[in-house]
Homo-oligomer: A and B are copies of this chain.
Amino acid sequence: MLHHVICLRFEDGTSDEQVQQLMDGLMGLRGEIDTIRSMRMGKDLGIRPDNFEFASLIEFDDEAGYLEFRDHPAHQQVVRDYIRPIIAERAGVVFLGP
């Protein structure tokens, strides 16, 4: 399994509606990109003050499945319309594991 992990901090002034659009946009990709095996995401609970604000965890069978997602026009549209406009910091990791 390939695990695609993203943690984000948002720009000051980002609204709950904008974060919801990001989440709805990503979740909608499950119906469009058939290499996605699972998708989880959520907003940080605020237990640790220096945490980032949001994470998504997306699983694929392998690197080819991840690359199909990365380069898919529907994903690139979500990145362009809903993610890039509100990102202040991004931490991404792609790793193989059970």
Contacts and interface: CB of A to CB of B under 8 A. Distances in A.
Interface of A: 2-3, 5, 7, 40-45, 47-48, 50-55, 57, 63, 66-67, 89-98
A95 to B, nearest CB: 3
A95 B3 contact: no
B52 A3 contact: no
Contacts of A44: 92-95
Contacts of A96: 42, 45
A44, A52, A92, A95 — which one has the most chain B CB atoms within 10 A of its CB? A95
Nearest to A92: B51
A43 B95 contact: yes
